[in-house]
A and B are shown apart, each in its own frame.
Chain A
Amino acid sequence: MKIFVVDNGGQWTHREWRVLKYLGMNTRIIPNTTPLKDLEVDGLVLSGGAPRVGVDSEKMGRNGEYLDEASFPILGICAGHQYMAQHFGGRAEPSGIPEFGKTQVFVDEEDELFLNLPSSFQAWLSHNDEVSELPRDFLSLAHSNNCKHQAMKHLKRPIYGVQFHPEVEHTEHGYEIFKNFLKVCEEMR
């Protein structure tokens, strides 16, 4: 399958590419200004990044276009997740207590994304902002002690967001989360 990574300027964008490559995907890192019509893919990962989506969402390029018009599944990570919430009418704001490094994530809804995963696992994070209010038509899938929405999904479309970073080595079950997302991509082809 062809799964590309949209580069929003994250420290771990290239890690997402590596995980997808290790899972046998045909993958590339593309600028977030790439028009959707140039993308013949089976799924997209919207990376995290330095932009604070609440204040400089213009730096998020065409992420909105992908979210509005794509017919394939999308997984937003960190800033990608926050932008997704804001774009669909929710809110992303500075975190009361931002999380850096190790955090325990608790799964509230197993869903496709956390299928066959333990109900809580250790994840690594690095974020100043977070989703404070879910958009309509979204379901919260997980939380941590300091962040209400560690993961979410669109109720009608194959669109997912995670605040933590499944692509880094220190996050437990990261590969399984990617595999679960890829399963959705496979089914949608």
Chain B
Amino acid sequence: MFDPSKFIDESVEKLREDIDGKAIVATSGGVDSTVAAVLLSRAIGENLLSVYVDTGLMRKGEGEQISKTLDQLGVNYEIVNARDEFFSALKGVVDPEKKRMAIGAKFIEIFERVAKGMGAEYLVQGTIAPDWIESGGELRDTIKSHHNVGGLPEQMELKLVEPLRDLYKDEVREVARELGIEVSERQPFPGPAMAIRILGEVTPESAELAREACAIVEQEIERAAADGEMELPWQYFASVLNVKSVGVRGDIRAYGYTVVVRAVQSIDGMTASYSKIPHEVLDRISIRVTNELNQINRVVYDITNKPPATIEWE
């Protein structure tokens, strides 16, 4: 079986061997990148800078959460506000692969900028196995380009270090628990964030809509799980579909978008089955989404496993 403490010892040692000088670590506040940051800090201490990029695409309340997480970790960090840069890079882009590539490239551009500023030669990422597997290459088909793999330029100035490449989420969580990391149980969240939970063009407005829809789904499911109504799924969220349908709101015809609720059970993200959420919970989600979000006319529940679907819609 997997031995997290052995893994920690071996990776810290390897990071010490691999990194000679300063390094930045790409941080999102999630489990993978936080584990990477802690391992790195054990290996090289003060020589690391944790960089969080505010893309404008993160979840509700993420901004406040991240500085708390980083403060607790006690590592040097910098928060880069890049909202405008991301929205302008995504302007007019609707193809999911192009979105992912644009986001990956933008991340790297920012990391290179920050690294140059402090004289760092290494970029450490919390890339895990499904990221590079699904990104494809050579014989392996590209299912989706993960932002931390597919967006990398061919000629990269920074040397890439990925200590978690061979781990899946369940194993990263074991390492996180062993390291005493508070976010160890946080649900997975994709690097491109809300950009891939909006089918169609990403704008500040559509990002806000997806963010609100996700927040409602998270709140209702977490409450239901806490009350013992259901098991907490492995991952649960909403996506906004660019499918319009007719409705009636206050005796007036409405023509609005669709929100899809997605919740799955998985261990490693490589196979997943949709969660059998009680209808009462779905009902509460549906009522809140359609009442609180004016542009949403219809809520549907995704009952597809992976394969053939993937967990996220894009």
The contact of A11 among B134, B273, B305, by CB within 8 Å, is B134
The contact of A8 among B139, B267, B272, B307, by CB within 8 Å, is B139
* Bound Cα distance A32, B140 (Å): 12
| Complex contact A100–B139 (CB within 8 A) | no
Q: A51-B139, A59-B139 are in contact. Are A169 and B2 (CB under 8 A)?
A: no
1/0 per position for A10-32, CB-CB distance to B under 8 A? Answer: 11111100100010000000001
A168 interface contact, C-beta 8 A = yes
Q: Which residues of B contact A18 (CB under 8 A)?
A: 168
* Bound Cα distance A12, B140 (Å): 10
The contact of A100 among B133, B138, B270, B307, by CB within 8 Å, is B307
Distance between B140 CB and nearest chain A CB, rounded to angstroms: 4
The contact of B140 among A22, A50, A124, A170, by CB within 8 Å, is A50
* Bound Cα distance A45, B133 (Å): 18
Q: Which residues of B contact A51 (CB under 8 A)?
A: 139
B308 interface contact, C-beta 8 A = yes
* Bound Cα distance A100, B307 (Å): 6
| Complex contact B140–A9 (CB within 8 A) | yes
Residue of A at shortest CB range from B166?
A14
Q: Which residues of B contact A161 (CB under 8 A)?
A: none
| Complex contact B270–A9 (CB within 8 A) | no
The contact of B139 among A7, A12, A169, by CB within 8 Å, is A7
Distance between B67 CB and nearest chain A CB, rounded to angstroms: 35
* Bound Cα distance A8, B139 (Å): 7
| Complex contact B273–A22 (CB within 8 A) | no
Q: Which residues of B contact A11 (CB under 8 A)?
A: 133-134, 140-141, 143, 270
Distance between B251 CB and nearest chain A CB, rounded to angstroms: 43
Residue of B at shortest CB range from A8?
B139
* Bound Cα distance A169, B305 (Å): 13
- In this complex, the member of B143, B267, B305, B307 whose beta carbon has the largest number of chain A beta carbons within 10 angstroms is B307
| Complex contact A168–B139 (CB within 8 A) | no
B158 interface contact, C-beta 8 A = no
| Complex contact A169–B140 (CB within 8 A) | no
Q: A101-B308, A168-B271, A169-B270 are in contact. Are A14 and B139 (CB under 8 A)?
A: no
* Bound Cα distance A18, B270 (Å): 12
Distance between A63 CB and nearest chain B CB, rounded to angstroms: 12
| Complex contact A170–B133 (CB within 8 A) | no
Residue of A at shortest CB range from B143?
A11
Distance between A18 CB and nearest chain B CB, rounded to angstroms: 7
* Bound Cα distance A15, B306 (Å): 15
B206 interface contact, C-beta 8 A = no
| Complex contact A12–B306 (CB within 8 A) | no
| Complex contact A169–B307 (CB within 8 A) | no
B266 interface contact, C-beta 8 A = yes
Q: A101-B305, A102-B305 are in contact. Are A9 and B141 (CB under 8 A)?
A: yes
Q: A22-B2, A101-B305 are in contact. Are A9 and B273 (CB under 8 A)?
A: no
B interface SS class: loop
The contact of A49 among B139, B143, B270, by CB within 8 Å, is B139
Q: A14-B133, A169-B267 are in contact. Are A102 and B273 (CB under 8 A)?
A: yes
1/0 per position for B128-139, CB-CB distance to A under 8 A? Answer: 010001100011
Residue of A at shortest CB range from B134?
A11
Q: A9-B140, A59-B139 are in contact. Are A170 and B308 (CB under 8 A)?
A: no
Q: Which residues of B contact A102 (CB under 8 A)?
A: 273, 305
A132 interface contact, C-beta 8 A = no
Distance between A169 CB and nearest chain B CB, rounded to angstroms: 4
B156 interface contact, C-beta 8 A = no
Q: Which residues of A contact B218 (CB under 8 A)?
A: none
A144 interface contact, C-beta 8 A = no
B268 interface contact, C-beta 8 A = yes
| Complex contact B270–A15 (CB within 8 A) | yes
Q: Which of B124-182 contact A (CB under 8 A)?
A: 129, 133-134, 138-141, 143, 166, 168
Distance between B278 CB and nearest chain A CB, rounded to angstroms: 21
* Bound Cα distance A11, B305 (Å): 15
* Bound Cα distance A8, B138 (Å): 10
| Complex contact A101–B307 (CB within 8 A) | yes
Distance between A121 CB and nearest chain B CB, rounded to angstroms: 15
6 extra interchain contacts, Cβ-Cβ under 8 A, other than A8-B139, A50-B141? A14-B129, A32-B139, A100-B308, A102-B305, A168-B270, A170-B271
